[in-house]
Amino acid sequence: MTDAVLDASALLALLLGEPGADTVRGVLADAAMTTINLAEVVGHYARHGASEPAIRGMLEGLPIAYVAPDEALAYDIGMLQPITATLGLSLGDRACLALGRRLDVPVLTADRSWTALASKAQIVIRLVR
């Protein structure tokens, strides 16, 4: 059962030992994340010079359920564009939000601006810090 959806910023808080890591650790066993957000995490480490094997080694043991967007989720992601445009949210951000809405579970993020759209997008957003 999935209890929360993680944004890349939430997973990075955990992996980097930043504030909010304990909050993420508390839901990790029952968390999901889109493969788009996984790509953002991989990209973070790749930008800092980590090799693919090193990144895989770090991430492979995490008990996160990764969800690849299907056609229905792609439409949900696209339909969030008008609601999120004023905040400048990325495709990855919208993917995370759409998955949270689909699963009807809270979305964990470090991005404070997301709280401004929670009720309008009908998504529960929990800040990790």
- Residues 6+ positions from 75 with CB-CB distance below 8 Å: none
| CB contact at 8 A, 75 and 45 | no
Which residue segment(s) compose the domain that 83 sits in?
4-127
pTM of the model: 0.95
The dihedral built from the CA positions of residue 11, 1, 27 and 125, taken in this order, carries a sign that is positive
Q: For residues 23 and 92, give the distance between their C-alpha atoms in angstroms, rounded to a whole number.
A: 21
81: domain CATH number is: 3.40.50.1010
**What is the model's pLDDT at position 17?**
97
pLDDT in tens, the chain (129 residues): 899 999 999 999 999 999 999 999 999 999 999 999 999 999 999 999 999 999 999 999 999 999 999 999 999 999 999 999 999 999 999 999 999 999 999 999 999 999 999 888 889 999 999
Tally of domains in the chain:
1
